[in-house]
Amino acid sequence: MTKADLVERVAARTGLTKKDVAVITDHLLEGICEALVKGGHVEIRGLGSFKTKTRKARQARNPRTGESVFVPEKVVPYFKASKELRARVIQEQESAERTPPDSPPVL
């Protein structure tokens, strides 16, 4: 699903215009990004939490030449899904496996 797909789906469910939903979505994502850049974290109950993690410096290999390369320490964004989200994904996957191929998907 792309951001455009998400905007379209939310607009259809809420009755808001796609333009308004796109602005809200952009501000939401920008807020998450700003919090991560500042070293904070964002927790959305039922979805998960966005955090940053520090990857240690390490020695790696260039796969093309085999030469040893130093990779410096860096901070990367990280998402951890909530228990509710993980359980829902597993439940939906299991129900999809039990659904006969001829029946339409459950939404």
pLDDT tens per residue across span 3-22: 999 999 999 999 999 999 99
CATH number at residue 46: 4.10.520.10
In a domain, 17, yes or no: yes
Whether 55 has a pLDDT exceeding 80, the answer reads yes
Give the model's pLDDT for residue 41: 94
**Residue-range definition of the domain harbouring residue 29:** 1-38
Residues 43 and 72 in one domain: yes
Q: What's the whole-number average pLDDT of the chain?
A: 92
Handedness of CA 60, 61, 67, 71 (dihedral sign): negative
Residues 32 and 59 in one domain: no
pLDDT tens per residue across span 76-92: 999 999 999 999 999 99
What DSSP letter does each residue of 23-64 carry, written as one string? HHHHHHHHHHHHHHHTT--EEETTTEEEEEEEEPPEEEE-TT
Residues 3 and 26 in one domain: yes
Domains of the chain: total: 2
Residues 62 and 87 in one domain: yes
| pTM exceeds cut of 0.85 | no
Residues 60 and 92 in one domain: yes
